[in-house]
Structure 1
Amino acid sequence: MKQEKRGIVNVTFNAKRATPIQKDIEAVENAVITYIAMYVRGFHSTRKDRGLGAEHIKLHLEKGSEGETTLEELLNLGNSLRVYLKNFDEPFIDEKEAKIYEWENKEKVRFRAIADRIRGEGDNCHSSPSNDIIITFYSDRNLSQRMEFKNPKVKAYYENTQSQTSILNQAHKRKQK
């Protein structure tokens, strides 16, 4: 998805206003429009410390920032969403009806991406009514506490994975003795 990554870079660092991120592998293959989230330039409100889109997400690209992400992790956001959907079928819908995607990488860093149909203040909040806007993307790096998953299915999945890893490690240690 080279074109997807190029679009993310151009929205984040250049003058492009928005780029689609395909969230479903079948949608990529069949070009189904309903499974697209728009990554938009967005805005960041320093007064409220809130925002949406690339201008807000760029804050998390700063080394040492709360919720730090790397450029590589941002560029792979579309792939991460597709893997999430492959494993969990659908995003978690919170009380505000935002779609929450959460996962953990091999280094045990947890990530959250939130998409919604919200139109807010700022310069580039354009989206067709059928598309979600990626509001934010961050990790639990440099947070005071480890991120708690909001989605009970995701939480159970990673707790089960940790339990299995712990059991395998204990068995391995016993074999070595």
Structure 2
Amino acid sequence: MAEPAPDIVLVAAVARNGVIGRDNDMPWRLSTDLKRFKALTMGCPMIMGRKTFQAIGKPLPGRRTIVVTRNAGFSTGGIEIAESLDAALTLARSLAGEMGAAAIPIVGGGEIYAAAMPLADRLEITEVDCSPDGDARFPQIDPGIWRETARNAVPAGEKDDFPMAFVSYVRRTPEAGT
């Protein structure tokens, strides 16, 4: 029997006003969220846009990084390049099989999230309790499409700028209405 296809999972920290970034950086410091991000992405092929990769600055250990860019000249060591989200997903599915990964995390930025939302199976959202100015946003989460399956309120730790909630969503199945 064939292995099940890996879930496409959008992983994002999102402010109350939908902001996810400002000037190619995150508008907060959330050590607790970074630990969750690592747990959700470790051992997986991870897809991100070029600006997100440049904000991170390097490939993250324990993951395969696929960068989506229209810039044909962009290249750096330790990553894979894809010219479209579709090409990135094709590569990620192949890598997931090699790695034994059950998920393909998509980790930003705003354009990639918007393009990937209709394809995603799950959302792993950190709701950040703030409303900062920003120039990158996460798409609206439509409750008619997405069902919340878990919510965990997390107070701000000593290395966190704000309290947050870890929220998991799954795509509703049309035939079951759930």
Same fold (TM over 0.5): no
Question: If you compute each CA radius of gyration, which structure gives the higher value, 1 or 2?
Answer: 1
Give the strand-richer structure, 1 or 2: 2
